[in-house]
């Protein structure tokens, strides 16, 4: 529903169907936490995100040029801050409409679907309103072209082996389509095959040591499939707890990297909270780390090693602060 005075999105009307429960849970929990953040902090980042929109309605990364991936992160950040408005969403809808017929990777396709939902909720044009009646069938066929012989999904069609991260993304894409993931048992077996003795999960089969982000993706997938066992939960919580950077306060991508980063910090914090592992988080240390990456004019850097901001890391920064505030 739209607010009659300023057309700001009312996030409490987001669809609560079982098929969208993971994305809905993520959105609502971050939104509720973001409401507890100081108004001046929220306003600063709304201004940054609004200023980041390109004339064609999309958003770009550091390389320049509007991009589906970064557009999705910008919209998700604005939605978290309850700051999607009709004019901005209409402009973004125009950008998305121009991308409908272009070939897309699994990431771009997921970003397109998420962005299309958000611009409609924010009062923009329904990007898929004029699509053929069988557009869900067509999207499903495109997603299945990314299926790999090992039961997972890959970034690109006809790949020889699957990716933990892309299997999770495509599972979420099917949720947006309100369709079950085909051959779910095979996908579960694939994800479990990426588990390692250190308690986490890896992105590709040859890797022996787990990483924060593939582990978060694996746990997210298993959650959507109702396939997390108590033993997996315990080992993953222990694995995540071991990734903390004692010096910085954030979390590292893996136990061989000396410095933390904002992506890993967000995924670890969110995952620990989802698995009732919040008592393993030093809330103040993580919050201090995240705030150290905030630019005065808005936006977040990727880590203490970074010297620029972008909309993706801004989502991770706001998302981490919101998750901690909700806690």
**Digit-coded pLDDT (tens) for 209-221:** 999 999 999 999 9
Model confidence at 5, in pLDDT bands (50, 70, 90)? very low
Token code pair at residue 146: 């990314």
What pLDDT does 60 receive?
95
What pLDDT does 15 receive?
37
Q: CB neighbours (10 Å) of residue 304? A: 17
Q: Where are the alpha helices (DSSP H) in 122-183?
A: 135-144, 164-176
Q: Which helix (H) or strand (E) holds 25?
A: helix 21-34
pLDDT > 90? residue 14? no
Residue that is last in its domain, among 226, 254, 275:
226
What pLDDT does 2 receive?
23
164 with 44, same domain: the answer is: no
- Cα–Cα dist 66/119, whole Å: 16
15 with 127, same domain: the answer is: yes
State the burial class of residue 51 (Cβ atoms within 10 Å of its Cβ: 0-12, 13-18, 19+): exposed
Of 25, 20, 27, 224, nearest in space to 122 by CA: 27
Average pLDDT over residues 151-177: 95
Secondary structure of residue 296 in the 3-state scheme: coil
157 with 217, same domain: the answer is: yes
pLDDT > 60? residue 305? yes
Model confidence at 131, in pLDDT bands (50, 70, 90)? confident
121 with 8, same domain: the answer is: yes
Q: Helix-strand-coil percent breakdown of the chain, rounded to 5?
A: 55, 5, 40
- Cα–Cα dist 318/46, whole Å: 11
What pLDDT does 21 receive?
74
Q: Please count the structural domains in the chain.
A: 3
């Amino acid at each position: 529903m739209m607010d009659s005075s300023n057309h700001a999105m009312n996030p409490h009307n987001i669809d609560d169907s079982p098929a969208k429960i993971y994305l809905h849970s993520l959105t609502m929990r971050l939104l509720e936490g973001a409401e507890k953040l100081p108004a001046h902090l929220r306003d600063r980042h709304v201004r940054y995100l609004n200023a980041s929109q390109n004339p064609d309605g999309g958003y770009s990364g550091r390389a320049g040029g509007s991009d589906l991936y970064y557009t999705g992160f910008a919209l998700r950040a604005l939605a978290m801050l309850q700051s999607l408005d009709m004019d901005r969403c209409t402009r973004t809808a125009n950008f998305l409409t121009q991308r409908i017929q272009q070939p897309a990777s699994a990431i771009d396709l997921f970003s397109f679907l998420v962005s299309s939902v958000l611009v409609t909720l924010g009062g923009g044009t329904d990007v898929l309103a004029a699509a053929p009646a069988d557009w869900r069938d067509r999207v499903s066929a495109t997603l299945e072209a990314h299926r790999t012989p090992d039961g997972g999904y890959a970034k690109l069609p006809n790949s020889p082996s699957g990716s933990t991260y892309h299997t999770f993304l495509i599972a979420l894409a099917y949720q947006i389509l309100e369709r079950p993931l085909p051959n779910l048992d095979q996908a579960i077996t694939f994800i479990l095959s990426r588990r390692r003795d250190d308690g986490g999960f890896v992105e590709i089969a040859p890797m022996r040591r787990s990483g924060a982000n593939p582990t978060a993706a694996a746990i997210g997938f298993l959650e959507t499939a109702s396939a997390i066992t108590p033993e997996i939960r315990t080992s993953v919580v222990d694995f995540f707890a071991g990734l903390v950077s004692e010096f910085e306060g954030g979390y590292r991508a893996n136990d061989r990297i000396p410095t933390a980063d904002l992506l890993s910090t967000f995924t670890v914090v969110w995952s620990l909270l989802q698995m009732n592992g919040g008592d393993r988080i030093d809330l103040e240390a993580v919050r201090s780390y995240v705030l150290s990456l905030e630019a005065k004019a808005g936006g977040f850097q990727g880590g203490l090693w970074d010297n620029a901001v972008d909309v993706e890391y801004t989502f991770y920064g706001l998302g981490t602060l919101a998750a901690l505030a909700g806690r």
